[in-house]
Structure 1
């Protein structure tokens, strides 16, 4: 049975006293009327009543309360109530109340967390559906048009097949990005760590996106001339991080604008890379959600510009896989700055200890 019944002892003691006093008084009155009153007999009778009453009441109270409270504990444990520890069943109502309140508070927090997750899940599924639906319907429309007779016209056939191919490419692009995020979250994507020159990687990204930037007459540039800056990481993934950040700066940048990259010391063993632009900027209320999958500040405008809506989410996961940080600063209507840290290579750390290279 239960281990802790201190409160029931107190209850049994008081109740036994009340019963014993009552029975003793009745017996004394009876003996007085019968002219057989003996005080020692009455004392023995009172003690006997008390002892008998105490044990009977204590047993019944323990059995009754424990039995019912045990049912509560058993039912609560079915809900995996880790706050109600095994072996701590008690008939103390105050203790039980505290434990149940603690349990209820924990479950309330769990329910609130589940509600947030459910809202996110619904929004995520809606976004996935929308992102996949658009290219799927595009491909379906062109193929159905060709099957309905447009295939006979060679010019139309070629044009529609090219457009359908673009829709398929977009689908593949989205699926690949989703696959990468899944691998990053589950740890299935292994990083190939090596030493490389960060300046060279940035310049490579500039060269890759030069034509895209030229369409809006946006200049891609360093803030100053740099000597090689050696860092340690997965060069392909860091190039992907830079590419996504620069693409975003071009996508949301103003015509005739500038995307500038700055590299500087962050700590003794780390550098920080800043990608800044003078584009439209981001409202403060949107910043906490920037790295969510498919989250778009301007849903209509962003979709016109293309992309999977997963770029910043991938950036965050890649940097977390490197155990690095990413920061965002933005003023709406003025511009934005995304920055991230990277570990210096041992070679760069030795050079940096001798002199400040930046």
Structure 2
């Protein structure tokens, strides 16, 4: 700064002592008294003004300059929590800079997080798309190189190619669904329906697969005969399908997958399995796209790695969330809540 507190204090003190001395010189005052007055007024004025400037003005002004310099360097280490509003206008400016810097720091942290997420997502999508494409490509080129002449081999390879392309189509469809959910373009059609009946229909879809894997699909013993909710039937069906499929996928046979309901102000729905469970460090990440707990087994178990991400988005569109309780080696319980249907309310009345 061009002017420091000491320089400004010295100039003001000199002005005060000169004015005071000039005023006294108009009276009948001796020269020695004028000299003493000159020095005393200068000293007292300088002391008071310098202290006032240093602690009330220049200290905060210098701090503002330091913060602005840190902001230019993208250094936010000076940020601290500011409580209350000071009556000192300079301190209030100081507080506003702190608050502004805090907001900018949060924005920068969020941008960094999103950038890291974007890189990870692009890498995951590239990997997931590459696998079925290369598999189908390999089978087709093998057929073109001569295996097409053998009907048995050609049928086998065409079947594998079709399976890879079906997986690719499912992956693309799931990505489109998530994109539409996040952008708010996916329309929801709310209606009253019996979610217990819907759960039975979902069990019917997996009945053959469950028998092959020796997995029991059961309703909780204390579940009501009818459980009406107000939600999008198609989307909730997708939620149950993904949760049941996920439970069967990560369950060692023989085992049991159970769907139950708890009714209070809302309807709580849970899908419980007796599978391998989820480690505590993975629970917060299982709803991320393409995140798999056991990456080494992911390809053998199948799936796109998007099922739980879709579950989370669908329930968020319903104004709810999904919660997980899990113990390694004992199984997992996925639980979510939905608004009660009018039929359920009438039954209660």
TM over 0.5, shorter chain: yes
Deviates further, 131-140 or 147-156: 147-156
Q: Secondary structure at the residue paired with 2:268?
A: strand
Cα distance in 2 between the residues matched to 1:146 and 1:321: 46
Q: Secondary structure at the residue paired with 1:215?
A: helix
Equivalence for 2:161: 164
Cα distance in 1 between the residues matched to 2:322 and 2:96: 42
Cα distance in 2 between the residues matched to 1:291 and 1:191: 21
Post-superposition CA distance 1:131-174 (Å, at most 9, x none)? 11110110111122122222233322222222111111111100
Q: How does 1:209-248 map to 2 (within 5 A)?
A: 209-224=206-221, 226-248=224-246
Q: 1:111 aligns with which of 108, 111, 114?
A: 108
Equivalence for 2:183: 186
Cα distance in 2 between the residues matched to 1:205 and 1:95: 61
Q: How does 1:44-193 map to 2 (within 5 A)?
A: 92=90, 98-193=95-190
Deviates further, 190-199 or 173-182: 190-199
Cα distance in 1 between the residues matched to 2:327 and 2:335: 15
Q: Which runs of 5+ in 2 are unaligned?
A: 36-60, 80-87
Q: Secondary structure at the residue paired with 2:254?
A: coil
Q: How many residues align?
A: 316
Going from structure 1 to structure 2, the CA distance change for 1:14 and 1:326 (only over 3 Å counts) comes to same
Equivalence for 1:287: 283
Shift of 1:100: 4.2
Q: Which runs of 5+ in 1 are unaligned?
A: 1-6, 32-36, 43-65, 84-89
Q: How does 1:335-354 map to 2 (within 5 A)?
A: 335-352=331-348, 354=349
Cα distance in 2 between the residues matched to 1:321 and 1:209: 26
Q: How does 1:267-346 map to 2 (within 5 A)?
A: 267-268=264-265, 270-346=266-342
Going from structure 1 to structure 2, the CA distance change for 1:91 and 1:222 (only over 3 Å counts) comes to closer
Q: Secondary structure at the residue paired with 2:213?
A: coil
Cα distance in 2 between the residues matched to 1:343 and 1:176: 28
Shift of 1:256: 1.0
Cα distance in 2 between the residues matched to 1:344 and 1:139: 46
Equivalence for 2:198: 201
> How well do the aligned residues superpose, as a CA RMSD in angstroms?
4.2
Shift of 1:108: 3.2
Post-superposition CA distance 1:104-124 (Å, at most 9, x none)? 444333333333222222222
Going from structure 1 to structure 2, the CA distance change for 1:238 and 1:166 (only over 3 Å counts) comes to same
Shift of 1:296: 0.6
TM-score, scaled to structure 2: 0.76
